[in-house]
Amino acid sequence: MRILYVGGTGEISSACVKESKRAGHDVTIYNRGKTVGISPRGVEHVIGELENDQIYGALAERNFDVVCQFLAFEQETVERDIEFFSNHCGHYIFISSASVYRKPSPAPLVSEDLPLGNPFWSYSRKKAACEKRLLDAHQAHNFPVTIVRPSHTYRERLPSVVVHGDHLAWRVLNGKAVIVPGDGESVWTLTHAEDFAKAFVQISGKSEAFGECVHITDKVGYTWNMIMRTISSEIGADVRMCNVLSQTLVRYEPSWTGPLLGDKSNSMIFDTRKITRLTDNWHCRISLQEGIRRTWPFVTERLKRGYRPDDALDRLIDRIIEDHAALRVEI
């Protein structure tokens, strides 16, 4: 197939590009060209801004079999995609987010038909609005759409909460404690991007997936305490955890409200029966331990190149931990 990736160099999309090439497809990526050396040999790279109608419109007229939209976060972007790619692609796949679901979840197992509406995160509500517009176009104009909802998917970045994975590693290696929300026992689903990519490429161009919303996630969850202990084991350094209520954390930094209350502090286990049915019995093969082991060399390389965290954020983390320690002493 002739496949266009809008994006193609991100944590998830770069793995999908590589898997598409491995499967023998003809791959084009479209992005700003800011990330160099990511794509495998033989991938066509068209450079342009997403807002550039001239370049983007000409690309759409090349009639791709599959268009994979990784960069749309606003309804206006998918409106333009509907205009450009209607009658010019065989299958349009929109990368949404598993954070679109109502919080707190009305069910312990998250299936694709649960109600949407994340009250804590505008990002999730915007993704849900994009989904609705695309599914409406699928119904009204026979625009062949599939909505893919990944959860926390990683490849080169350590799983983390509140801070970036490199910041987490930097703190651990410098003997500093890290913050884990609540008691650390909420259950979180992690998926390695190479596993994600295998399922994604299998449903690309597949008519049975038209009009469907589908999870591509692992079906196994881990507590944040388990995740941190696994990171500790794989990098060979003790991780000192400071457990702080999510509601307390967002009082320190309101911008954490969406990523915490709307996402990572919730227990999320996914029903993966639909993606299993749409593929050749796909399931994740990379364990948490193996995933962290594969990720660590990328992190190590960035740290060796002189990575330093944002000083203001690091001081805030220190202050939260100090305040929490003082509170425990008073109790």
Quick: pLDDT tens for 244-301.
Answer: 999 999 999 999 999 999 999 999 999 999 999 999 999 999 999 999 999 999 999 9
Q: Show Cβ contacts of residue 248 under 8 Å, excluding neighbours closer than 6 positions.
A: none
Q: Show Cβ contacts of residue 52 under 8 Å, excluding neighbours closer than 6 positions.
A: none
Q: Determine the pLDDT at residue 33.
A: 85
Quick: pLDDT tens for 3-56.
Answer: 999 999 999 999 999 999 999 999 999 999 877 556 678 999 999 998 899 999
- Enter the tokens of residue 92: 């349009």
Kind of pairing between the strands at 221-223 and 269-270: unpaired
Q: What is the mean pLDDT of the chain?
A: 94
Tell me how far apart the alpha carbons of residues 100 and 305 are, in angstroms, rounded to a whole number: 36
Q: Determine the pLDDT at residue 36.
A: 59
Tell me how far apart the alpha carbons of residues 125 and 75 are, in angstroms, rounded to a whole number: 10
Quick: pLDDT tens for 200-216.
Answer: 999 999 999 999 999 99
Ordered by where they begin, the domains of the chain are 2-153+191-215 (3.40.50.720)
Q: pTM value?
A: 0.95
Tell me how far apart the alpha carbons of residues 211 and 196 are, in angstroms, rounded to a whole number: 20
